[in-house]
Amino acid sequence: MSDLQELYQSVILDHNRKPRNFGAADDANRVAEGKNPLCGDQVLISLHLDGDLITDVKFSGHGCAISKASASLMTTAVKGKTRTDAEALFERFHALVLGRDVGGGKDLGQLVVFSGVSRFPVRVKCASLAWHTLKAALASEAIATTSPATVTTE
Ligand code: ZN
């Protein structure tokens, strides 16, 4: 394993062990639940959308190390971003995990740690689950109660 791959793996393990933004978002007004039946990953994303700005985003749920670390890194990446920027970042992230050319991927920041996932097709769903769920949450109606939109990866 190269030094870079080792570094990437240690970031993933760190986020798996100490997930950032775990729990429920303050004053959440968008919620979605995501399931990846292939692996048994389950994630609930809650966020507060203020106009077009994601002011808070958190996740809860359970799953494999990849899905959990991806949810953790996703929340840190999109918090404080506009909805448009977050959706654009998802497109870039999706290209990365599918092994497409992202031209160095500087704009992806720490998310590049998932570049190795493209070699494991089954893991692509684990890595992208939180992002699909984020997209569903952003597309959902504003909610007053916790009746989340659901998304299942196929
Ligand atoms: Zn998984």
Asked whether residue 152 is domain-assigned, the answer is no
Burial class of 64 by CB neighbour count within 10 A (0 to 12, 13 to 18, 19+): middle
Q: What is the pTM of this model?
A: 0.91
Residue 34 placed within a domain: yes
Asked if the structure places residue 154 within a domain, the reply is no
- Which domain CATH number covers 19? 3.90.1010.10
Q: 112 lies in a domain? A: yes
Distance 144 CA to ligand 1 centre (A): 30
Sheet with 41-50, side-by-side order of all strands: 53-62, 41-50, 30-36, 149-152
pLDDT at 152: 81
- Rounded Cα gap, residues 30 and 123, in angstroms: 27
Number of domains in the chain: 1
Whether 130 is covered by a domain: the verdict is: yes
CA of 67 to the centre of ligand 1 (A): 5
Distance from the CA of 12 to the center of ligand 1, in angstroms?
Answer: 13
| Containing structural domain, residue 82 | 3-143
- Residue 8 forms part of a structural domain: yes
- What is the residue-level pLDDT of the chain in tens, covering all 154 positions? 678 888 899 999 999 999 999 999 989 999 999 999 999 999 999 999 999 999 999 999 999 999 999 999 999 999 999 999 999 999 999 999 999 999 988 899 999 999 999 999 889 999 999 999 999 999 987 764 456 677 887 6
